[in-house]
A and B are shown apart, each in its own frame.
Chain A
Amino acid sequence: MTAPDDMPGPSPAAPAAGPPAAPVLSARDVVIRYGGVTAVNGLSMDAFAAEAVGLIGPNGAGKSSFLAALGGQARIQSGSISLAGQNVSRLPAHARARRGIARTFQLTSEFSGMTTFENLVTAGHGAAGASLASVLAHPRRSRQQDLAMARRAWEVLERFELADIANAYGRELSGGQRRLVEIMRCLMRSPTVLLLDEPMVGVAPHLVDRMVADLKAIRDDGISLIIVEHALEVVRELCDRVVVMADGASIAAGSYEQVVKDREVQAAYLG
C-alpha cells in the first residue's frame, strides 16, 4: 500500500510554492473482494486536476477492478473514495457520473445500435435527457436542449476530425473509432475525472500517436486522467505519474522513469 503523500514527482496541479492543491479524486485503503479472491488490497492514491496518472502492472494485478471501484461499477469492501472532498464510496455509478466521473471500458462500450452522433448527444444530455417528467412537461424546452446538444456534439466530432462518421452505427465503427467515440462521449459530460481502461487496445498503430495527443489535450484542459494501460510507451508519453500494482497493491509510484528502474517492479513484470 502506498500513501499518496509518499508518491514522488510533483503534480502539475501542485505548484512548488504555496499550499498543495487538493486532489480531485482520492482513494484510501480500498479493498475489493470477489468471493474469496482479493482483487485490490488496501490501495490508496490521489489524482489532481490537469494530471494524467498511469496504473500499470501485470495481468491480474487489480487495475481494472480498482478503476471500476472508482467509477462505481465495483463495490468496495472497505476504504473510501472521495470526489472533490466528498465521500462517494456508497454512490452508484450513475450518481458518481453526475458528480463528474466519466469512464471508458476495457471492452469498448459504444451504444452499438445508435449512431456516433446519438452516442454523443445521449451522453451530453445525461440524466437531464433521461427525465421522463421533463420530456412530458416541457417538450419544447427538451427539443431546444437537444439542438444545443447537437451543436456541442458537432464541435466534439470536429475536434476529433470524425464528423464523417456521425451517422455510422456504433457497430459499424473500427476498434479505434469505437475507442474515440467512448472518449468523445465522456467529453460531452464535461467531466472532472476521466477513467480510461486500456484505451489503446484495438487501436491501429498509426492512430495511437494521435490518440495520445488527444488525451494530452484533454488533460491540459484541466481534466484529471487515470489510465490503465499495458502499452508502456503510451504511459511514458502521456502520464505525469505512474502507480504500479501487483497482487492488488501498489508496489511503486513515481514518474515513469523512476518506476521502471524499481527492482520490485521489474520482478513483478518478469516474474
Chain B
Amino acid sequence: MLSSWTFFISTLVVYFGVDLLSGLSLNLQFGYAGVINFGYIIFQAAGAYAAAVVTLGPSGPASFQHYVFGAKLPFPLPLLLATAVGAALAGVVGLFGLRRIRRDYQAVVLLIVSLIALQLVQADVPLFNGSNGLVGIPRPLQSQLALTPQGYQWAYAAWVLALCALVYLLVRWLSKSTWGRSLRAVRDQEDAAASLGLNVTALRLQVFVIGGAIAGLSGGLLVEFIGAWSPDAWGYAETFVIFTAMFVGGVGNYRGVLLGVLLVPILFLQLPQFLPQIGYPGLTGSLEWIIVGLVWMAILLLRPQGILPERRALALPDLSREAA
C-alpha cells in the first residue's frame, strides 16, 4: 500500500516538474513577450520524439515500430537533443508564425500548426509510427544506478526538480535583464517598442526559440520517464491546461506559475481520481476539460492578474546622487 503511494507521489512530482517547465516556458513567451503560443505542445512533443528515437536504438525492417534517426545515445545526450530539436522547430515555426501580424492571428496560426502536426504524425507510419506511437523507451541509467523501482522513481523526480530549479533561475534572470524588459515593452506596445529601436520580430523569435528549447527538454524528460510516446497524448488541449495554470497563478510572475501548476494540472486534474466515478466511463475525464475552461474564464473575469500578480519593479536608485 505504502509503495503504491510513494510510486504515485513520485510520479506526480515528475509530472509537476514537466508541467512547471511548460509553465516557465509559456510565462516567458506570453507573460513577458505577449506571444500567445497555442501550439506549445508540438515543441514538447518534438523534443519527446527526438529523445525517444535516440534512446530506442536503430529501427530495423523487422522492428514492430517505425521511426527515423534511431540511435542509442548515452544519458544525457537524448535530453540535450530534445532541447535542441524543440528550439530548432520553434525557430522554423516562429519564422513564419511570428510575422508582424496581429497577436490573436498569431495565436490562431500556432493553434492550427499544432492541429496539422497531430494529424500528420497520426497519418505518417514510416516516420512516426502513426497513432500507435512509440513504446519500450528505456529509462536513462536505470541499470547503472541499480536502485529499487521506488528509489529510481525518486531519483528521477529529484533529477527533474533539479532541472526545473535550473530553468527557473535562468528564465527569472533573463526576465529581469534588460532583454526581459525589452520583451515587456514589446508585449505592452509593439509599435512604440519598434519606434525606440527594438527589433520586435527578432525579440519574439528569440523568446520563441528559448521557450521551444524548454518545451523540448520537458518533453524529453517526460518520455524517458513514462517510456512511451503516443501522438494522442500531445493534443492541443494540454497547452490550454498550462495556460489556465499560468492565469490562475499569475501571468508574469514565476512564483505564480509554480502555484498555478500545483493547483491546476496536479491538484485539480489528479483529485478526480479519488472521487467516485459518475455517469458512464470517461465522463469524469471529459468534465475535467470543461471545468478547466470554466476555471480559465472565471479567473479572467474575477482576477485577471491571477493569485500572485506580476511584481512591480521598483526604480533603481541614482547611485551618483546617493554618493554625493
Contacts and interface: CB of A to CB of B under 8 A. Distances in A.
Given A113-B310, A114-B181, A127 B198 contact: yes
B233 interface: no
Contacts of A92: 194, 199
A94 B200 contact: yes
A111 B184 CA distance: 8
Contact of B315 (A122, A123, A167): A167
Interface centre among A73, A111, A154 (most CB of B within 10 A): A111
B191 A105 contact: yes
B145 to A, nearest CB: 34
B195 A97 contact: yes
Interface centre among A103, A125, A139, A145 (most CB of B within 10 A): A125
Interface in B136-169: none
Interface in A51-102: 71-73, 92-94, 97-98, 101-102
B316 A102 contact: no
Contact of A135 (B174, B192, B316): B174
Interface string A118-157: 1101110111111110010001001001110011011000
| Chain A interface, DSSP helix/strand/loop, else mixed | helix
B320 A105 contact: no
Given A122-B182, A147-B316, A167-B315, A97 B188 contact: no
Contacts of A126: 196-198
Contacts of A150: 315-319
A145 B179 CA distance: 12
Nearest to A114: B184
Nearest to B251: A113
Nearest to B209: A132
Interface centre among A94, A102, A126 (most CB of B within 10 A): A94
A8 to B, nearest CB: 31
A14 interface: no
A128 B200 CA distance: 13
A241 interface: no
Interface residues of A, number: 50
B194 A169 contact: no
A109 B186 CA distance: 11
Given A122-B185, A150-B318, A109 B191 contact: yes
B182 A115 contact: no
Interface centre among B194, B314, B315 (most CB of A within 10 A): B315
A135 B188 contact: no
Nearest to B319: A147
A228 to B, nearest CB: 15
Contacts of A123: 196
A28 B184 CA distance: 36
Contacts of A129: 178-179, 181-182
A115 B315 contact: yes
B203 A130 contact: yes
Contact of B188 (A71, A114, A151, A185): A114
B198 A105 contact: no
Interface in B193-242: 193-200, 203, 206
A94 B313 CA distance: 25
Given A71-B195, A103-B195, A166 B181 contact: no
A170 interface: yes
Nearest to B315: A117
A135 B177 contact: yes
A113 B195 contact: no
Contacts of A71: 195
A72 B189 CA distance: 16
A112 interface: yes
B321 interface: yes
A151 B203 CA distance: 26
Interface string B63-90: 0000000000000000000000000000
11 contacts: A93-B194, A94-B196, A105-B192, A114-B184, A115-B314, A125-B182, A127-B199, A129-B178, A142-B178, A147-B316, A167-B314
Interface of B: 174, 177-179, 181-182, 184-185, 187-189, 191-200, 203, 206, 252, 310, 312-321
Interface of A: 71-73, 92-94, 97-98, 101-103, 105, 109-115, 117-119, 121-123, 125-132, 135, 139, 142, 145-147, 150-151, 153-154, 166-167, 169-170, 182, 185, 189
The 4 A-B pairs of least Cβ separation, nearest first, read A129-B178, A109-B192, A117-B315, A126-B197
Given A105-B191, A114-B313, A145-B178, 13 more contacts: A73-B191, A92-B199, A102-B196, A109-B195, A110-B188, A111-B192, A117-B315, A127-B197, A129-B179, A130-B178, A132-B179, A146-B316, A150-B318
